[in-house]
Amino acid sequence: MEKIVFVIPNMTGGGTERVVALLANEYCARGIPVTILLFAGNETAYPLDPRVEVVRVGGPTGGNPFLQAARLYRMRRFYRLNGDCQIWAFSAMGAVFSAAAAPGRRHFFLVSERNDPDRYEHRRIRDLSYRKADVVVCQTPDAAACFPDAIRKKSVVIPNPLECGEMPFTGEREKRIVAVGRLNAQKNHKLLLHAFAAFVKNHTDYRLELYGQGELEAELRALATTLKIDKHVIFKGFSERVLSEIKTAGMYVLSSDYEGVSNSMLEALALGLPVIATDCPVGGSRAYIVDGVNGFLVPVGDAVALAHAMERVADEPGLGETLGREALKLREELAVSKIADRFLALTRRKR
């Protein structure tokens, strides 16, 4: 099979990067050549098979046209030297740059939409690039519905793969509430801090652990101090072993304003953790959580509802265990091997 080239800005510790790492490692194990093309950085936070080639064609440009032109030149040269490769762009800008770098070339071109399409600022240029793709992979039907007809017709819904190597925990859960994700505005950790401030008044033996890094860390630390919960809130930073670190927690919370599908939420469900998530666009949470059956859904931005759901998990005997047991059913459905097969089937369909 032709080389698969994943195009992504960087491989820092985010959900999309984890998906790319999982798929790249899976394909390498099958003997398929894989390259990860980084166009805006040089980090590789997640473990990669030594056979995965990592190519760096530039760093952040800050909108500088000369740096963008240099990046484009390096990408064009790479695609010319790898004329039989497949281009799998796992970012909107990766699709834009790849479409510009390989005009007229006959690469199989796959785009994977990783977020809420309505939140993207430069939709016209993105849509022009997506029209050049052979297939556009969306994470939910709601995401596919955001696009014009020409793109929607070539859209396919494929969920995220799960790394199921970490075994679920079945003992008595610790009084920890955990959240995993970048510390940025999209994830709305401020909402979580406000909800936790209400929750901890009657649950003083609980602590909140935030896993991830981001530009809002200082602001979130200051808010925790203002809310007088800083002694209960721990900023854990990025961890390569995050699944083993959160598996014994009492509950997992996703407080995002919008998501494609949160990979960390799926991983928490697959560990059997009681999960509470905002019912945010573009439907990624509700695609996997049946409210009150295998987790809880709460309205976006509603700190009162979030605190109430946390209280239910903490206070109702056996509820967390019941939710977690139902959530475990996702493990087999979203196994890496099955999701990898579904991506490969798209390439065969287009031959």
Compute the distance between CA of residue 255 and CA of residue 208 in angstroms, rounded to an integer.
13
Question: Given a cut of 80, is residue 198 above it in pLDDT?
Answer: yes
Average pLDDT rounded to a whole number, residues 99-128: 91
Compute the distance between CA of residue 287 and CA of residue 67 in angstroms, rounded to an integer.
40
CB burial of residue 134 (10 Å; 0-12, 13-18, 19+): middle
Compute the distance between CA of residue 306 and CA of residue 304 in angstroms, rounded to an integer.
5
Looking at the domain assignment, is residue 167 inside a domain?
no
Average pLDDT rounded to a whole number, residues 18-46: 94
Average pLDDT, the chain: 94
Residue type, 340: A
Together in a domain, 119 and 188: no
Together in a domain, 36 and 70: yes
Together in a domain, 229 and 261: yes
Question: Given a cut of 80, is residue 286 above it in pLDDT?
Answer: yes
Domain at 310, CATH number: 3.40.50.2000
Which of these, 300, 259, 264, lies nearest to 279 by C-alpha position?
300
Question: Given a cut of 70, is residue 349 above it in pLDDT?
Answer: no
For 66-102, what is each residue's pLDDT tens digit?
999 999 999 999 999 999 999 999 999 999 999 999 9
Quote the tokens at residue 283. Answer: 């439907």
296: helix, strand or coil: strand
pLDDT for 350:
58
CB 347 within 8 A of CB 108: yes
Looking at the domain assignment, is residue 238 inside a domain?
yes
Question: Given a cut of 60, is residue 351 above it in pLDDT?
Answer: no
Together in a domain, 134 and 197: no
**How many Cα neighbours within 13 Å face the side chain of 41?**
11
What is the b/e burial string over 246-285, where b = at least 16 CB atoms within 10 angstroms of the residue's CB?
bbebbbbbbbbbbbbbbbbbbbbbbbbbbbbbbbbbbbbb
Together in a domain, 318 and 342: no
Together in a domain, 187 and 69: no
Together in a domain, 189 and 105: no
Together in a domain, 326 and 263: yes
What separation in angstroms does the CA of 251 have from each of 117, 176, 265, 319, 341?
Answer: 29, 7, 11, 11, 32
Looking at the domain assignment, is residue 169 inside a domain?
no
Average pLDDT rounded to a whole number, residues 227-231: 98
Together in a domain, 129 and 182: no
CB 211 within 8 A of CB 237: yes
Question: Given a cut of 70, is residue 331 above it in pLDDT?
Answer: yes
What is the b/e burial string over 316-338, where b = at least 16 CB atoms within 10 angstroms of the residue's CB?
eeeebeebbebbbebbeebbbee
The residue among 61 and 154 whose pLDDT is bigger is 154
The model's pTM is 0.82
Question: Given a cut of 60, is residue 346 above it in pLDDT?
Answer: yes
pLDDT for 173:
96
Compute the distance between CA of residue 203 and CA of residue 302 in angstroms, rounded to an integer.
20
Together in a domain, 32 and 82: yes
Together in a domain, 278 and 327: yes
Which residue range(s) make up the domain with 38?
Answer: 4-161+335-349
For 176-191, what is each residue's pLDDT tens digit?
999 999 999 999 999 9
How many structural domains compose the chain?
A: 2
pLDDT for 95:
96
